[in-house]
Amino acid sequence: MRTAYTADQIRAAEQALMARLPEGTLMQRAAAGLAAVCADLLGRVYGSRVVLLVGSGDNGGDALYAGERLARRGARVEAVLAGSRTHEAGLRALLDAGGRVAEATAIGQADLIMDGLVGIGASGALREPYARLAAEANAAGAAVVAVDLPSGVDASSGRVAGAAVRARVTVTMGAYKTGLLVDPGAAFAGDVELIDIGLGEHLPDPDATALTGRDVAGLIPRPGDESDKYRRGVLGVAAGSDLFTGAAVLAVGGALRGGSGMVRYAGREAPVAQVRSHWPEAVVTLLDAPSIEHVGRVQAWVLGPGLGTDTWAHELAVKVLASDVPVLVDADGLTLVARDKALLRRTAPVLITPHAGELSRLIGADRAGIEAARLEHARRAAAELGVTVLLKGSTTVVAEEGRPARVNVSGTPWLSTGGTGDVLSGLAGALLAQGLSCYDAASCGAYLHGVAGRLAADGAPLTAADVATAIPGAIRAVTSPGS
């Protein structure tokens, strides 16, 4: 599991470690790792041109000492001193190794640019001359390496308030910062390389985590010798309408492919016909009225994809949410809940799976504000609504009050196509029915959905049905030995 921390958590851990070490030890450890990554990126260090963008803080010192190491290997290293002060010992070491101080015009001639402008203590928009230097670094043709995190990215949240350095590689020290995992910050970080400087035992419980395939393999249920279709989990799906029959087909498909022992689908005539045609494995109930009385016993429900938002749909939502099993609410179900928050006043768990627009209606926040601070708003929704939140989008975030947020890193932009969210609902619902908590079902569902998207796309466009088909392959990919 990848664990990530806020700026305050990192600073406290660094202070605790520095109290036990000779002065400057952590900076030298960071500089050694940073220089090694830069050398690998350059390939040939001797004769290369490296420009350091040096701010006033410790990031500037890290850059100067890393520049010293590259200069001693034959690189031409130039430092653009942007701060009101400079780490004196680091600058002296660079100059003694043959480096020199340069103007910003050197940026355009660089093979590699090292961004040491600001560190984890910075917040808000970059000021001048930092903003201008960030723009010049982004416009240059050189590889950009960020020291600890790209300047302009908030370490604790991933917010980007203005100009920011867009790195090819971010070399982060000691531990991942939450802002490196969550968009928009993650989009500026590029590949993230972690350098161990010894913080381990001083770190608290993480602020956020990202599951790996091994973590998911350890969480998802597997059938045993005593399993039957009922023990493997029965999922109810209330989805689809005369207008949106495909949503029902996709949600049921995601559930069946996700390992549910049985799927009970309940809907109106048009989607019922489509589900019967596509999925003969599903047990289908035609609803003449908005009631689940004759559907049969289930261990969890998926409510909402393509359901509609009329009175009939609202009455069905009331019945599903009055049940005593976990319910995943998506799509039209979220619209119904946004109109009638009382639907969420239940003792059994609820998992909601909104995108930013749907979340904006649920908590009365601006959609653009949600996109700019995904983690903050997912946590807010979990606390205000008393539910587990899976916020879909460029970074999928799972939030539950009292737990570290989970950030999914398995996805692909190819998943941004119609119907893939319906498949995710069915998949996560199947995991709920198999006994996972909302927190784990959301996290594992998002991870497997991302892997399935990658398998289905293979670098080309996909359809939602392709993703459903790829789910068993995604499960094999994370559970097979050596994965």
CATH at 113: 3.40.50.10260
Digit-coded pLDDT (tens) for 2-30: 999 999 999 999 999 999 999 999 999 99
Digit-coded pLDDT (tens) for 188-238: 999 999 999 999 999 999 999 999 999 999 999 987 767 667 777 999 999
204 in the same domain as 173: yes
Q: Is 124 annotated as a binding residue?
A: yes
Burial of 423 (0-12, 13-18, 19+ CB in 10 A): buried
351 in the same domain as 432: yes
Averaged pLDDT for residues 96-114: 97
- Domain end call among 208, 230, 253: 208
Which CATH number covers residue 394?
3.40.1190.20
Please give the distance of CA 87 from its chain centroid, rounded to a whole number.
Answer: 35
Q: Is 121 annotated as a binding residue?
A: yes
121 in the same domain as 77: yes
Q: Is 306 annotated as a binding residue?
A: yes
Q: Is 319 annotated as a binding residue?
A: no
Amino acid 227: pLDDT: 67
Q: Is 394 annotated as a binding residue?
A: yes
Averaged pLDDT for residues 298-317: 98
Which residue type sits at 447? Y
Distance from C-alpha of 189 to C-alpha of 179, rounded to nearest angstrom:
9
463 in the same domain as 320: yes
- Beta carbons of 213 and 277 less than 8 angstroms apart: no
Distance from C-alpha of 416 to C-alpha of 413, rounded to nearest angstrom:
6
Q: Is 148 annotated as a binding residue?
A: yes
Q: Is 176 annotated as a binding residue?
A: no
194 in the same domain as 180: yes
Q: Is 125 annotated as a binding residue?
A: yes
Q: How many domains does the chain have?
A: 2
Amino acid 225: pLDDT: 65
238 in the same domain as 202: no
Q: Is 115 annotated as a binding residue?
A: yes
Q: Is 151 annotated as a binding residue?
A: yes
- Domain end call among 208, 232, 267: 208
Contacts of 424 (CB under 8 A, 6+ apart): 254, 353, 392, 445, 446, 449
Q: Coil, strand, or helix at residue 297?
A: coil
Q: Is 119 annotated as a binding residue?
A: yes
- Check pLDDT > 60 for residue 254: yes
Q: Is 363 annotated as a binding residue?
A: no
- Domain end call among 173, 208, 243: 208
**For residue 58, which of 29, 78, 38, 36 has the smallest C-alpha distance?**
29
Q: Is 157 annotated as a binding residue?
A: no
80 in the same domain as 119: yes
Distance from C-alpha of 24 to C-alpha of 13, rounded to nearest angstrom:
15
358 in the same domain as 277: yes
Amino acid 231: pLDDT: 75
Distance from C-alpha of 64 to C-alpha of 89, rounded to nearest angstrom:
9
Distance from first CA to last CA of the chain, Å, rounded? 14
Please give the helix or strand (H or E) that residue 402 lies within, else none: none
Looking up tokens 């689908």 gives 265
Q: Is 130 annotated as a binding residue?
A: yes
Amino acid 482: pLDDT: 63
Q: Is 48 annotated as a binding residue?
A: no
Digit-coded pLDDT (tens) for 255-271: 999 999 999 999 999 99
Averaged pLDDT for residues 389-399: 95
Contacts of 27 (CB under 8 A, 6+ apart): 58, 61, 62, 65, 90
200 in the same domain as 106: yes
238 in the same domain as 175: no
Q: Is 473 annotated as a binding residue?
A: no
357 in the same domain as 292: yes
322 in the same domain as 180: no
Read off the tokens for 347: 């003792």
Q: Which domain holds residue 128?
A: 2-208
Q: Is 59 annotated as a binding residue?
A: yes
